């Protein structure tokens, strides 16, 4: 069975105020001194000291993946508590913050190269890794994902607040992330060789520092035999992360099957894919999205239903149809993190209360 794994970035916050705290290095050092540095799931540093990453193991079972995700959140929370802090699955800080870039020569080089884009980039995403048999299969998958990725993004949107105010977007993280010059959707590559040639040309340009800065919405992983889908905000509810993983794995399997059957990739210009992503960022589940099948504008739940139908045969083959169907129904009924954050703010008038609620949900 094709395995799937999830990387979640969490915000480290101060109880009461909700302000982000630059404690990642201390938390990771404490974790290493505890003698459990090999404990699963592993934790790692991210670009800013106010965030920490939890990475699951690859799993065939979505139920086991869900336990792994919950374990990562619990581990990060227990480490934060040792320093009087908490963790929150928020894709941006609702409160104003001046991030502290993590130490290291690579991060220093990123700051030198990209200036304010690096210094302001405190966003937390959810990256889903799905196993592929080869780079050729991986690129064939990448070539067929484009119109479906904004729907995954819309399901996950969880960053409506930026620098202390409502941004007007369901995911302002997507807007902030788009400042990186290699980010966003891509045209079909056609082959693994063409993919690698383009990546080499991007590196040769001297703009991205290395292959780790190839920030395509979906890419071949440089570390694992996987495709890595990078469009999602970190999900407030851990169940939504499991839902995202289940849909993504089935989307990859569907794309791989289409490639095996010789079905051509969809011919959608990259500028239209960017506009589709923008709509997902702006409205999440609460507005109109571009239908992934025919490009017309439609209510977000209709686009989600189209994705569900598209991947349903793959869900059935994996035995995931009941679990994913239940999680999807729940997510559509209650809404995503962006909707919940705004609801809490309307009720309380307090961004600190938004963060406190996110800590409880995490």
pLDDT given at position 31: 87
- pLDDT tens readout for residues 136-180: 999 999 999 999 999 999 999 999 999 999 999 999 999 999 999
The whole-number pLDDT of residue 140 equals: 98
Q: What is the pLDDT of residues 84-98, one digit of tens each?
A: 999 999 999 999 999
Whether pLDDT at 39 is above 80: no
**What is the average per-residue pLDDT within 111-126?**
97
Q: What b/e sequence results for 11-38 when a residue is b if at least 16 CB atoms lie within 10 Å of its CB, and e otherwise?
A: bbbbbeebbbbbbbebbbeebeeeeeee
Q: Alpha-carbon distance 197 to 295, whole Å? A: 30
Is the separation of the CB atoms in 7 and 248 below 8 Å? no
Residue 46 backbone zone (phi > 0: left; psi -120 to 50: alpha; other: beta): beta
Statement: residue 34 has pLDDT above 80: no
103-123: average pLDDT: 96
Question: In sequence order, what are the residues at sequence separation of 6 or more whose Cβ sits closer than 8 angstroms to the Cβ of residue 35?
Answer: none
pLDDT at 313: 98
33 — pLDDT class (breaks 50, 70, 90)? confident
Mean pLDDT of 248-275: 97
Q: In percent, how much of the chain has pLDDT > 70?
A: 98
What tens digit of pLDDT does each residue of 303-355 get?
Answer: 999 999 999 999 999 999 999 999 999 999 999 999 999 999 999 999 999 99
Closest CA to 148 of 276, 236, 262: 276
The domain locations on the chain are: 4-361
CA 256 to chain centre: 21
- Over 90: is that where the pLDDT of 32 sits? no
pLDDT for res 41: 66
Residue 8: pLDDT band with limits 50, 70, 90: very high
Alpha carbon 217 to its chain's center: 10
pTM above 0.85, yes or no: yes
Whether 120 shows a pLDDT value over 80: the answer reads yes
Secondary structure letter of residue 119 according to DSSP: H
Residue 343 contacts residue 283 (beta carbons within 8 Å): no
Over residues 3-13, the mean pLDDT reads: 98
pLDDT of residue 65: 97
Q: Report H helices in the chain.
A: 24-33, 62-81, 105-114, 116-119, 135-145, 149-156, 172-177, 192-204, 238-260, 270-283, 300-318, 321-334, 337-348, 351-361
CATH class of 4-361: alpha beta
d(CA 346, CA 354): 10
Q: Please, what is the average pLDDT of the chain?
A: 96
pLDDT at residue 40 tops 70: no
């Amino acid at each position: 069975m094709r395995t799937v794994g999830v990387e979640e970035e969490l915000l480290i916050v101060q109880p009461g105020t909700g302000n982000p705290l630059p404690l990642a290095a201390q938390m990771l050092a404490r974790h290493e001194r505890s003698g459990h540095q090999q404990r699963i799931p592993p934790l790692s540093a991210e670009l800013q000291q106010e965030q920490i990453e939890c990475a699951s193991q690859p799993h065939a079972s979505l139920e086991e993946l869900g336990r792994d995700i919950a374990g990562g959140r619990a581990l990060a929370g227990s480490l934060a508590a040792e320093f009087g802090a908490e963790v929150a699955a928020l894709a941006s800080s609702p409160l104003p913050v001046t991030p502290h870039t993590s130490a290291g020569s690579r991060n220093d080089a990123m700051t030198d190269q990209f200036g304010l884009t690096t210094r302001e980039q405190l966003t937390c995403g959810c990256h889903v890794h799905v196993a592929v048999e080869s780079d050729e299969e991986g690129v064939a998958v990448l070539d067929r994902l484009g119109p479906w990725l904004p729907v995954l993004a819309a399901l996950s949107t969880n960053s409506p607040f930026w620098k202390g105010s409502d941004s007007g977007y369901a995911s302002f993280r997507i807007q902030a992330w788009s400042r990186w010059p290699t980010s966003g959707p891509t045209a079909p590559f056609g082959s693994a060789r063409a993919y690698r040639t383009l990546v080499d040309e991007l590196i040769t340009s001297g703009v991205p520092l290395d292959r780790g800065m190839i920030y395509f919405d979906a890419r071949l992983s440089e570390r694992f035999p996987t495709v890595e889908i990078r469009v999602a905000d970190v999900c407030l509810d851990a169940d939504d992360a499991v839902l995202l993983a289940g849909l993504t794995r089935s989307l990859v399997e569907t794309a791989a099957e289409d490639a095996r059957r010789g079905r051509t990739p969809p011919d959608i210009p990259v500028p239209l894919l960017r506009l589709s992503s923008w709509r997902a960022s702006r409205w999440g589940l609460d507005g109109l999205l571009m239908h992934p099948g025919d490009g017309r504008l439609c209510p977000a739940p209709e686009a989600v239903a189209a994705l569900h139908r598209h991947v349903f045969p793959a869900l059935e083959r994996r035995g995931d149809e009941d679990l994913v169907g239940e999680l999807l129904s729940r997510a559509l009924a209650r809404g995503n993190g962006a909707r919940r954050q705004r609801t809490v703010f309307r009720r309380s008038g307090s961004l600190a209360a938004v963060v406190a609620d996110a800590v409880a949900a995490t």
